[in-house]
Structure 1
Amino acid sequence: MTSKKSDLEAAIDAAARILDSATTIGTLGHIGPDGDAIGSSWGVALSAHKAGKTAVASFGEPFVIPRHFEFLNQEVVVPAKEFPEGLDVVVSCDSASAERLGSLAGAATSAKKIVVIDHHVTNTGFGDVAVVAADASSTAELAYRVLQRLGWPIDADVATCLWTGVVSDTGRFQYSNTSPETLRVAAELLEYGVASDVVGQELYERAPFGYFGVVSAVLGRAELDADLQLVSTALFQEDLDSADITYEETDGLIDLVRLADESDVALLMKSLEPGSVMASLRSRGTIDVAAIAREFGGGGHHNASGFSFDGVPEDALAAVKAELAKQRR
């Protein structure tokens, strides 16, 4: 992992050299992309396109663009099935490992070079060049620095993609990963013409009416373990079916689950297929939820992480409680 400032600057220089010499470039976010994965990968590809490169952006199956990201410029975005192999460079954005690229991991490794831009402490250091800084607020913040080094075009569309990544991963600049450098980057992005009010409305102030029913169901089955200071709940496919909404439209659920005063750790288990659970963990700071996720092959950050679990929600909950108890000792 890139750590020292001098090492990071050297990695940015190396990434810029590779990208500048490339003709064909593809950018990839992780499967089930969040705002940072989409914002950073689309922003880099869009800037590359404007610099005269042949550039595309995508993410692995299931390729479903969440509704709240549809406002972003998508002229370089292609479905996963149309992402080409054998590119000069693939840029992996916001993925801690090649496995997180899902169905497009093979397309990534078929490229002549892989550049990794990421801020996860759990990053495995894959790729030919890794621009990785765990103390960066977001991958988008690092992507902006790479684009600056390249001198590629950054207009309102590119800046809006990057702004989306920064805003998403800092919780609208309220999380502890918001640094003075983050705010400097944010100020510069605003100068390119980002409409921050529009981004805020699209990301945080819109939802289909059926979402209300899902919120009611998920919060209605929430449980509090007072001893472990853990609040947990589950989302089932039946919840989505009855509300006629998609999984991608439920991103904000974990932020509601974590509100309970009596807890400092929140767990949302998404059981959408029999025998499989996708879990999201959040911490107020005392507990390292990335360490818990790593025990199950997942990863993330100290205060936000996720993992996949083979089994049912009850078993996933028991496993998390066991790991949480170790940190409480």
Structure 2
Amino acid sequence: METTMTTAALTPEAEGSPVVHSAVSAVAAALRTAESVVLLAHSNPDADALGSALALGLHLRSRGTKVWVSFDRPAEIPLSLRTLPGQELIVTPSDLPVDAQLVVSVDVGARQRLGHLIDLFDAAPVSICIDHHASNPGFGQIQLIDPSAAANVMLVVEVLDEMQAEITADIAANLYAGLATDTANFRFATAPSHLLAARLIAAGTEPQSLMRPIMDTHPFRWLAMLSCALKSATLLPEVAHGAGMVWVKVSEADSDGLRMEDLDSIIDIVRTTGEAEIAAVFKETAPLMWQVSLRAKTTFDVGRAATELGGGGHPRSAGYSFSGNVESLLAELMSVLQSVEPAR
């Protein structure tokens, strides 16, 4: 395999465009010839990130390629994702080879979301970015970035099809997990998303058993935390040009003993508030350190707001980090939301 490659800034505007096809072909060609590949998900991986990596990894291993899957943190695989097939491919960052021919980031919307693995990515002879975040500025030598894709796994399946891969039951399970979670159980799915879901079920995926540990299982302690969080719920009808925002906070004490993946599910409850276009959850990860999750229903681009605040994401789903007290966090967020014009 060649150790250098011309940078290809392939950032398409619409799914199925010639630019997308060109990027897919470039990624598939690089993967076909690689003898060793590292696949990197973002820190605190979700099912779309880890499912993307494992689906690609399982196919590459079947071709005889040496494959490693990893992420910067947490130190352990998120509990809800431990039933995804291909766990044996996952290694800790310290066990990754430094001389892999190709390093691929999947569902990583910005370089910093690789954490300490940025250096490994940057040092790779060939680096590839496969992502669907609209806020992605573009990084890596080969870029397959398509914001029109409802989930990152939709780009991965295009690459697999270009490689004429067999979509086995194990590969299909990883792809389905990413598709279902990133479309909020298909509430935000496109027609191609539903067609892919049908294909994956036909390949052997069993949605109910697959998704139960990922989306429908929490420890009993989660109920107490949720109760405390919902008690803090505050409705601000005047925010975002009168569209309204509802927010809750989760203190470090209230979330003690719970995983970040347990906290991430709160936003799906808060977003059901009928009087608010925008929902926000402030999660305290350390004293005066917060992870902020944002969701919008129809008219606001919270991805743009999150990008201005140092994070990123999608128009209806985004997030960022903040250091300071909750009053300052709220004031800054309200100011930025007021500067974002709603869609007409």
TM-score by length of 2: 0.91
2:13 equivalent to 1:3? yes
| Aligned partner of residue 324 in structure 1, secondary structure | helix
* Secondary structure, aligned partner of 1:100: helix
Distance between the aligned counterparts of 1:249 and 1:65, measured in 2? 14
- In structure 1, the residue matched to 2:60 is 48
What residue is the counterpart of 1:12 in the other structure? 24
Instruction: Report the 3-state secondary structure (helix = DSSP H, G, I; strand = E; otherwise coil) of the residue aligned with 2:89.
Output: coil
For 1:53 and 1:154, the matched residues in 2 are separated by: 17
Find the aligned partners of 2:71 and 2:123 in 1 and give their Cα distance.
15
Task: Tell me the secondary structure at the aligned position of residue 307 of structure 1.
Answer: strand
Give 1:268 shift. Answer: 0.7
User: How far apart in 2 are the matches of 1:275 and 1:47?
Assistant: 43
1:93 counterpart residue number:
106
Does residue 133 (structure 1) correspond to residue 143 (structure 2)? The answer is: no
**Matching residue's letter, 1:185:** L
Where do 5+ consecutive residues of structure 2 fail to align? 1-10
- Write the letter of the residue equivalent to 2:285: L
Q: Is the 8 A contact 2:252 2:287 kept in 1?
A: no
- Counterpart AA for 1:56: W
Separation (CA, whole Å) in 2 of partners of 1:50 and 1:236: 45
Preserved CA contact (<8 Å) 1:84 1:107: no
Long gaps (5+) in structure 1: none
Other-structure match for 1:275: 288
Matched, 1:237 2:252: yes
Query: Which of 31, 43, 63 is the equivalent residue of 2:43?
Result: 31
The answer for the alignment partner of 1:168 in structure 2 is 181
Q: 2: CA distance between counterparts of 1:116 and 1:28?
A: 10
RMSD: 1.4
- For residues 12 and 340 of structure 2, what CA distance do their matches in structure 1 show? 27
2:279 is the alignment partner of 1:266:
yes
For 1:210, give the aligned amino acid: R
* Structure 2 match to 1:185: 196
1:62 equivalent to 2:77? Answer: no
CA contact under 8 A between 1:67 and 1:249: conserved in structure 2?
Answer: no
Once the 2 structures are TM-superposed, how far is the Cα of residue 328 of structure 1 from its aligned partner? 5.9
Q: Does the CA contact (< 8 Å) of 1:122 and 1:299 recur in 2?
A: yes
CA offsets per residue over residues 99-141 of structure 1, 9 Å max, x none?
Answer: 1111111111222111111111111111111111111111101
CA distance in 2, matches of 1:231, 1:324: 13
SS in 2 for 1:137: coil
For 1:2, the aligned partner's letter is P
SS of corresponding position for 1:78:
coil
- Decide which moves more: 191-200 or 210-219: 191-200
Partner residue of 2:221 out of 196, 210, 218: 210
* The 10-residue stretch of structure 1 (58-67 or 295-304) with the greater mean CA deviation from structure 2: 58-67
- C-alpha distance in structure 2 between counterparts of 1:39 and 1:247, whole Å: 18
Quote the offset at 1:237 in angstroms. 1.5
CA offset digits 1:256-308 (Å, max 9, x no partner): 11111111101111111123211110000211101110111111000000111
SS in 2 for 1:193: coil
SS at match of 1:84: coil
Structure 1 residues 77-156: aligned runs within 5 Å? 77-156=90-169
- 2:93 partner amino acid: A
Partners of 1:286 and 1:298 in 2: how far apart? 20
Q: Which moved more, 1:4-13 or 1:145-154?
A: 145-154
Q: Contact 1:51 / 1:152 at 8 angstroms: preserved in 2? A: no
If the length of structure 1 is used for normalisation, what is the TM-score? 0.95
3-state SS, counterpart of residue 309 of structure 2: coil
Residue range with higher mean Cα deviation, 134-143 or 189-198: 189-198
Is the 1:223–1:233 Cα contact (8 Å) retained in structure 2?
Answer: yes
Aligned to 2:300: 287
SS in 1 for 2:154: helix
CA deviation after TM superposition for structure 1 residue 245, in Å: 2.2
Q: How many residues align?
A: 325
Offset of residue 312 of structure 1: 2.0
